[in-house]
Amino acid sequence: AIFIDVNMRCYMCLTFPSVKQIEKRDSVLTSKQQIDRLLRPGASYFNLNPFEVLQIDPEATDDELKKRFRALSILVHPDKNQDDPDRAQRAFEAVDKAYKNLLDPEQKKRAIDVIQAGREYVEHNMKEKKKQLKKDGKPQFVEEDDPEMFRQAVYKQTMKLFAELELKRKEREAKDMHERKRAREEEIETAEKAKREREWQKNFEETRDGRVDSWRSFQAGKGKAKKEKKPRSFLKPPKVKMEQRE
């Protein structure tokens, strides 16, 4: 498991704006703009990060989270966007799902762990780049040394990790569904086989007396035929008349 440390707090300050900054920035966003943001191309993956959906700092308190959810959910609610209710409904569902995920301690921790893993990946790459620059005798400066470039690199890597986890989840789900389907088919086949065997046994038992009677009749008829059997008769050859000579 990955835990939040002092460096993580500094990273979050760089990667995520404060709640006040978010409120100030989003105060100028209209309902349509928020809906467009939540439904932009690739949203199915961007929206895997609940903090990105709600545009809130992972360090935000529960009260701040609730306040942010209420403000954003009202802004994109279908009742407030009756000119585009279908898209508004989808945007509202994304906000609602993100909020519920962050209310679940396990889901929230998993999201923070992914963000931390993204940060560590970028930092590792930075060290490797600087190591190579030092080896080549060049200045040890990489573009991620710029806080804004670092933030963007972490953001991209975080989104990539969320997407990979979602793909793995879908693969497991498809595999589980296939296994359940196969098990169900085997269960049905076993039940049908057992049913056929019961029906065969039932028919066998029901026709037992008839088969016995038929056999007895056959044996009786066979014995009677033996008793009534006539002795074999042989055909006698015709008498040959002798010709008389004159």
Q: How far is CA 19 from the centre of its chain?
A: 35
Asked if 35 and 81 touch (Cβ cutoff 8 Å), the reply is yes
Give pLDDT, residue 231. 61
Return the amino acid letter for 120. E
pTM: 0.61
Q: How far is CA 42 from the centre of its chain?
A: 19
What is the average pLDDT across 92-108? 96
Asked if 31 and 75 touch (Cβ cutoff 8 Å), the reply is yes
* Residue 163 token pair: 């997407």
pLDDT of 187-211, one tens digit each?
898 998 898 888 888 888 878 777 6
Distance CA 18, CA 21 (A): 5
pLDDT of 217-238, one tens digit each?
777 766 666 655 556 655 666 6
- 5-12's contacts with Cβ under 8 Å and 24+ in sequence apart are 8/116, 8/119, 9/59, 11/116, 11/119, 11/154, 12/57, 12/58, 12/59, 12/115
Distance CA 111, CA 113 (A): 5
Mean predicted lDDT score pLDDT of the chain: 82
What is the average pLDDT across 45-62? 92
Q: Is the pLDDT of residue 105 over 80?
A: yes
Q: Is the pLDDT of residue 242 over 50?
A: yes
pLDDT of 155-196, one tens digit each?
999 999 999 998 998 899 899 988 999 899 988 989 988 988
Q: Is the pLDDT of residue 148 over 70?
A: yes
Residue ranges and CATH numbers for the domains of the chain are: 19-177 (1.10.287.110)
* Residue 151 token pair: 């933030």
Asked if 162 and 114 touch (Cβ cutoff 8 Å), the reply is yes
Q: Which residues contact 142 (CB under 8 A, 6 or more apart)?
A: 126, 129, 130, 133
Burial of residue 138 (CB within 10 Å: 0-12, 13-18, 19+) is: exposed
Name the H helices within 77-146: 85-103, 105-135
